[in-house]
Amino acid sequence: MLCALALICISKTCEAESRDDIVNRDSNRCTRYFSYYETKYQIPNHLLHAVALKESGIYHHTTKRTHPWPWTINYKGKGYFFESKAAAINAVKKIFSGGDRSVDVGCMQINLLHHKDAFRSLEHAFDPRSNVEYGAKFLSGNFQKSSSWKHAVAAYHSANTPKGVHYSNKVLSIWRKEGKKYEASLKGHDSRITVADSSTDKRVVARRANFNSSSETFNPNPRKKDFFIKVTSESKQAEHNAVAKISSDTVKQFRSN
């Protein structure tokens, strides 16, 4: 679920931090746990990270890297990135209120319908450590059944053989390309296992999707096209110009081609 990310800071915090710092800090809520759980569940180095990049990865043009995003959901085949844990939880609650339980959440995109006993609550489901550990256990369990990591990765996505194989090939490609980059990204960052920071920093995160990421106005079945501002390759400056129009208590969605 790779996509282009436009990240715009709208809080004073951004004045002292670069975009790179912010993306690394937030994505580290996922990545800090990969090595630990790969070791615990005997998963090949960086394979869990590669799965996360396929599941919740967002590409940032400044860092020129793909990063896993903890406040991600996928509903009806569309991925949505939210600016905070609370916003993501509120969006899932609105989906649930419509009677649907099939939604993927968090760093590892665990489906809450098919894994209904995985988490105690939505708060627990979006906790990066809990989400990553469950993904690791699920992936490891698939390997125990097949004795093949390629098959284990395929089953992580789908029991449907063609879909699973296609997914597995993509993950293994990411694994080969991103392994060294991941190791380099850990240098200078705290990768120890700690309780994930649940503070909410207000920022704008973009996703190819027809929705408004504000937790108050999230519509899981949007019909109008005015929920987002289109940012094309010819008008990327619109990302920066939009900052002045966004108040600290409002989050709007950008869509990239």
Query: Average pLDDT in the 115-139 region?
Result: 97
Strand, coil or helix: 151: helix
What is the share, in percent, of the chain residues with pLDDT greater than 70? 61
Pick the residue with more confidence: 31 or 255? 31
**Helices within the chain (DSSP H only):** 13-16, 19-31, 34-40, 47-56, 85-97, 122-125, 128-146, 149-157, 161-186, 237-241
- The pLDDT tens digits for 93-117 are 999 999 999 999 999 999 999 999 9
- The pLDDT tens digits for 211-242 are 333 333 455 554 332 222 222 222 233 333 32
Local structure of residue 242 (DSSP, 8 states): G
Ranges of each domain in the chain: 4-129+171-256
The pLDDT mean for the chain works out to 71
* Position 59 confidence tier, pLDDT thresholds 50, 70, 90: confident
- The reported pLDDT for the residue numbered 19 is 61
Helices (H) then strands (E): counts for the chain: 10, 11
What is the share, in percent, of the chain residues with pLDDT greater than 90? 49
Pick the residue with more confidence: 185 or 208? 185
- Position 173 pLDDT exceeds 60: yes
Token readout for 74 is 């996928």
Local structure of residue 63 (DSSP, 8 states): T
Query: Average pLDDT in the 85-94 region?
Result: 95
* Position 180 confidence tier, pLDDT thresholds 50, 70, 90: low
